[in-house]
Structure 1
Amino acid sequence: MLTLAKHANAALMFFLELAVLFAAGYWGFTVSPNWALKLLAGLGAPALFIAAWALFGAGGGANAVYPLTGLARAALEIVWFGGGALAFYAAGAATPAAVLAVLFVVNAVLRLVWKQV
């Protein structure tokens, strides 16, 4: 049963990563009434998040170009997932922002307890 819970927590981490990208895009498409700026921000913000994750956090660091561990990895996750929550909030979606933040904290605590980090 614990193995199933650990796999579910890993899947949650993946869906949280997707939620951050969605939040960045959602924010970008609400940032301005100008369609050119909407396209630039709506496509550019997720691209920047993807680049940061690929460079420093992909695959728990195993697939990253510059893998981070320890406190640096924790800081990356807080900034990355916090950035997703802030993007939702800045776009006027306070409830999804809160849900993303709470789910990230629960996921992170479980990953620490179950040594999935």
Structure 2
Amino acid sequence: MNAPSTAQPKIGFNELLRFVLELFAIVTLGIFGFTAFPLPWPGVLIGIGAPLFAILLWALFRSPKAVFAVDPFVKALVEIAVFSSAAIAWWLMGQPIVAIVFAVVAAVSGVINGRREFSA
């Protein structure tokens, strides 16, 4: 007697890339807060608050187990807000190459994921 198979979600390269991009964006916002603003205040507040706010937005609207089921356009807006914030942070920290590479990779990954979401 075979046990009922539980369908595992397929995790491909783009899903893994998107997870790494999300982690990179969150870490970037923390680095930006601590380095771009005077310490202890507002640097500590922004260094901790910006990543927490990005995590909250992602958990509420964008994650696979999001609290609120929203339209794919809202998901895209949240994703664009978080990823573009990270790219802008790198630009403001004087790292335009990192900013551009991150923005391009995030945009391509987002388009691939968006096409998959809209076709489903």
Structure 1 length-normalised TM: 0.80
- What's the counterpart of residue 53 of structure 2? 48
Runs of 4+ aligned structure 1 residues displaced above 6 Å come to none
Q: 1:66 to 1:112 in 2, by over 3 A?
A: closer
Identity percentage over the alignment? 33
User: Residue deviations 1:48-92, cap 9 Å, x none?
Assistant: 111111111112xxx111132222222222112111111222222
Alignment of 1:1-117 (within 5 A): 7-59=12-64, 63-113=65-115, 115=116
The residue aligned with 2:4 is: none
CA contact (8 A) 2:59 2:67 kept: yes
Contact 2:54 2:82 in 1 (8 A): yes
Any unmatched runs of 5+ in structure 2? 1-10
Secondary structure of the structure 1 residue equivalent to 2:98: helix
RMSD (Å) for aligned C-alpha atoms: 1.8
Secondary structure (helix, strand or coil) at the match of 2:41 reads helix
Q: Distance in 1 between matches of 2:42 and 2:82?
A: 23
Structure with greater proportional helix content: 1
Contact conserved, 2:57 with 2:78, CA < 8 A, in 1? no
Larger radius of gyration: 2
Unaligned runs of 5+ in 1: 1-5
What count of residue pairs does the alignment treat as equivalent? 108
Q: What is the TM-score of this pair, normalised by structure 2?
A: 0.78
